[in-house]
Structure 1
Amino acid sequence: LAAVAGSEAALRERPNFATLYCPISPAYFTKENIQCMRRWAQHGIPITLLSMAMGGASAPATLLGQLVVINLEILAWIVALQILHPATPLLYGSVSSVLDMRTGILPLGSPERGMINSGAAIMARYYGLPSMCGGLSTDAKEVDVQAGFEKAITAFPLLIEGASIIYGVGAVDAGAAISYAQMVMDDEIIAGMRRMMEGITLHDLQEEVAMIRRNIPRGNFLREEHTRRTHKRHWQPHLMNREPYEAWMATRVEVAEKARTRARELLTSRQPDSLEAETEAEMERILRKHLGPDFALAG
């Protein structure tokens, strides 16, 4: 990675990736994790201190009690990291949820996940730290109604509380798989949420008041120049269908199919830039050193 960046100095000046470390909740830190974290810190790589405390299993079942464990783990990481390498760039992170007592799994699409991780975002803001929190999460296995519902309820609380990074774009099946179509769908969800986060702008209302007086009672604002000038601020979806029923019946293309079509278009129309031959050779040398002499980069 330093080779791709150009040099170790260039990597330190402008890191092209960040790493993350999770304790074994509640608050157990392995020797291997600490050693790895120390090595990344030596190179100035940003580190996300990530709690995965499970409410009802590795943390109290109450959300407030769970948040205490999350905060304890992250603050312990911060203290250790700053002792080893002061001023190491770091993020306050949580991808926690609660134990489903019926199935024994950690559901990532639960309302509690959005609630507890938004609490972590609040704590990060309190300490003046950037945050990375788990949201846009779903236990659904495909692009469907369940996925949309769960991603919305786990992401929007994080937007409200100002999480710096919301993790989960494209993830399905509790993070066990990535769907390109879901990535496209998530982009639509995020765009709508961002529009909502803009809120209602406060401004001088003289023009609107004069227009209202002209049009009441039983007036029409469609003909107003003000409407032509300002309606473009309204959000327009790319995937969602707003057509009348008859128009929809003519094609009956489901939103999920639109997302799959768009994903295929993006994958076939855009190619990543190639690495320089010297850079690729250096990467292959490093990887062979660690993964074996038979390793070869794809492509």
Structure 2
Amino acid sequence: MHSVLSMMSKMEQETIHETSLQLLEEVGVVIGSENVRKMLEAKGAKVIGENVRFPKAMTEEMLGLIVHTFPIGAYTEAYRKQVPSITHPFSTTAGYVPYIYDEDAGKNRYATKEDLRQLCVLADASPEMDCFWPLMMPGEYTGELQEFKATEIALRNIGKHVQCSSASGDLARYQIEMAQTVAGGSEAFRKNPVLSLLSAPTTPLAIEHGIADAIVESARAGVPIIPMSLPQMTTTSPATFAADTLLVNSENLACYMIAKCAAEDARVFYASDAGAPNLFDGGIDYENCEYVLLSAGDCDMARFYDMPSAMGCSVEYKDFSTKAGFERNIFRCAMKLMTRVDVACWIGTRESCLSSSLVDVVMDLEVLRYAKAYFRHFPVNDYTLALDIIKEKGPRGHFLDHDHTFANFKENIFTDKSENSFLFANGFENYRQTAKEKLDQILSTHKGPEFDSALVSELDKIAAKAEATLKEQ
């Protein structure tokens, strides 16, 4: 027994699947990389200029190669995990945002590499943080070097699984080389992939040159790939749930085809961050109901293919000045993660993913601690059914004094009341300051992973090569 938020029947999932095959065969996708187009053509795709169309039989054959489960590794052994999750949705920070909210100044400023390093320390110290995505961009850098530096800072400062974006083949090669070095070599990395890379298509139905190349590099190295599709209803998708889900599915399958043509053992997530804009200003709206429902449908499709999933699950609005305000966020978090996504990308963002805050990370993690009560699994077997005990007590009996009750109530009844959260130790009105005090305590005491001098030297060499190659791009 466990909770799950679902949107589609099996017949509806079949319809999305079959229509996706038709779309990929008749319309296809634009792929900007000539090398990738040639690779796909050699495997049976039809190429007309930049347009690539996948025959139905080709796609169906490749779908027989799905890697249904794979590790998401970590430098620290205790943090290594497997997807799909059999316990709870794994939560990670979202990314990338350009700004960070300065608590002392009371306003946003550009994020720095030191902000990102501190976030790594916080994430490494926090048991609710399952894996890590560099939330903010290190503003000292630009272009592809910025993405590389985010990867480097994360790998050097956190022992958990790291997820980063990758927008070119060159960038991916340096990110992968650094991750392989942390893992102990290319073969050790395949067993313990400490890094996964997000390479997102451009909705609708385009995969840019660098993105396609990055997918190929990741596939061949055994890097878990996150091809996050981001259609927005009315703008980059028709204004229906079915069409938005169709585009997510088709773009995921197209990226999957690239990965599988590059390496049959490629590890690929089913990934999306689909939504509907605020129709008053056109901006992304992470608080509307469509965001949750689209994620639920996309998770249904991930389960249809038996693929691990990764989704955006933002819960940004935070007013914890009352118990009701805090519990609102617990319920919204629980609802969004009740889609049973395997990796949920959401922690720490503000202002529709334009800003971030380490204090918000602390608060989100506390929300998650309570929300996890909704994700528990309850077995159904002879012991838990307790038929013998019900027979023993009979009609009008009670179970308060039974050994079975004492043995099971703590696991089955969640007793941690929300008003007892550490956030309210100094009163509801001071929750943000209390969260900042906890942040300061963690930053002053926690030590991340310690690398020996030889490993540090190797990482320095890779960083120097990347800086020389990527700095002008």
Maintained 8 Å contact 2:333/2:367? no
Q: CA deviation at 1:4?
A: 1.4
Q: Identify if the C-alpha distance between structure 1 residues 178 and 147 changes in structure 2 by more than 3 Å, giving closer, same or farther.
A: farther
Equivalent runs, 1:64-75 vs 2, <5 Å = 64-75=242-253
The range that moved more, 259-268 or 193-202, is 193-202
1:268 partner SS: helix
Structure 2 match to 1:185: 363
For residues 272 and 256 of structure 1, the distance between their equivalents in structure 2, rounded to whole angstroms, comes to 25
> Secondary structure of 2:269's partner?
strand
Please say if 1:171 is aligned against 2:349. yes
SS at match of 2:227: strand
Q: CA deviation at 1:121?
A: 0.7
Aligned pair in 2 of structure 1 residues 213, 256: CA closer, same or farther (>3 Å)? farther
1:44 alignment counterpart: 222
Residue matched to 1:286? 462
CA 1:269 to 1:211, structure 2 compared with 1: closer, same or farther past 3 Å? Answer: farther
**1:156 paired to 2:335:** yes
Measure the CA separation in 2 of the matches of 1:156 and 1:265.
Answer: 31
Distance (whole Å) between structure 2 residues aligned to residue 119 and residue 13 of structure 1? 31
TM-aligned CA distance change 1:288 to 1:164, over 3 Å = same
Runs of 4 or more off by more than 6 Å in structure 1?
141-148, 223-227
Matches within 5 A, 1:87-98: 87-98=265-276
**How high is the TM-score relative to the length of structure 2?**
0.53
Is contact 1:131–1:165 with CA below 8 Å preserved after alignment?
yes
> Matched residues in 2 for 1:177 and 1:48: separation?
23
Match of 1:63 among 238, 241, 245: 241
Q: CA deviation at 1:226?
A: 6.7
**SS in structure 1 of the partner of residue 222 of structure 2:** coil
Q: Tell me the equivalent position of 2:385.
A: 203
Q: Is the CA contact (8 Å cut-off) linking 2:310 and 2:342 kept in structure 1?
A: yes
> For 2:362 and 2:409, how far apart are their aligned partners in 1?
25
Task: Please state how far the C-alpha of 1:192 moved relative to its aligned partner.
Answer: 2.9
Q: Secondary structure at the match of 2:266?
A: coil
- Compute the RMSD of aligned alpha carbons: 3.2
Code of the residue aligned with 1:210 in structure 2: it is K
- Secondary structure at the counterpart of residue 112 of structure 1: helix
- SS of the equivalent of 2:207 reads coil
Q: Cα gap change, 1:229/1:174 in structure 2, threshold over 3 Å: closer, same or farther?
A: same
1:126 and 2:304 aligned: yes
Give 1:262's aligned amino acid.
K
Higher gyration radius (CA): 1
Percent same amino acid at aligned positions? Answer: 19
Contact 1:141-1:173 at 8 Å conserved across structures: no
Match of 2:284 in 1: 106
Does residue 262 (structure 1) correspond to residue 262 (structure 2)? The answer is no
Which of the numbers 409, 414, 422 marks the counterpart of 1:235? Answer: 414
**Bigger shift: 27-36 or 176-185?**
176-185
1:117 CA displacement:
1.1
How far residue 87 of structure 1 moved from its aligned partner, in angstroms, is: 1.9
Over 3 Å counting, the alpha-carbon distance change for 1:278 and 1:105 in structure 2 is same
